Structure 1
């Protein structure tokens, strides 16, 4: 039945700002950017086979459908990843690292439109 997770769609208010954040701060690769008609714009960013779809300009009935709780990214080391992100964007604020299991944990922070993002990796 299901083959893979195709992509996660995130509503954004400023496409250029969001593309810059996800490519420059988090290191995703811009794979495609296109318009649907005169108003809606899509951008697809990839990382190891997974894709994030940014959607700007969609009508309220599309943008208000539902909310994603968070988007998680695996990292080797939480402290190293947090330091690298802070070096690129010192304004990013992380939650306190939460220990989970087997020496791994997570931290949360916000993207440019307030989307909740998680780093998961070794503490």
Structure 2
């Protein structure tokens, strides 16, 4: 019997933006992405855009932290129960920096870990 996996789809793909306004103009005007919203939950500004059901999160580059983790910053996977997803990853011996997701308020959570090649992956429950 196959275990039902906790992942329901790609939530978004995070891409570094050296200049947020220039990046927003490019994704909207040149590529035809629809602007969804922009937030600044901490030091870094984030902008979300959508095209054909795929969401791109532009991640502002600050303090010279350009590309230590690549231009593609992270892949975010949508989950219905982030706590069960973390338990599942733990059962698969995935190395994780912690076992506690971050609360984003209003029942939303995220959790970051790394894949086998060091790629940054986010779980998102919203």
Report the TM-score range of the alignment, normalised by the length of the smaller protein: 0.3 to 0.5
TM-score scaled to structure 2, two decimals?
0.46
TM-score scaled to structure 1, two decimals?
0.47
More helix per residue: 1 or 2?
Answer: 1
Larger RCO (CA within 8 A; separation ≥ 6):
2
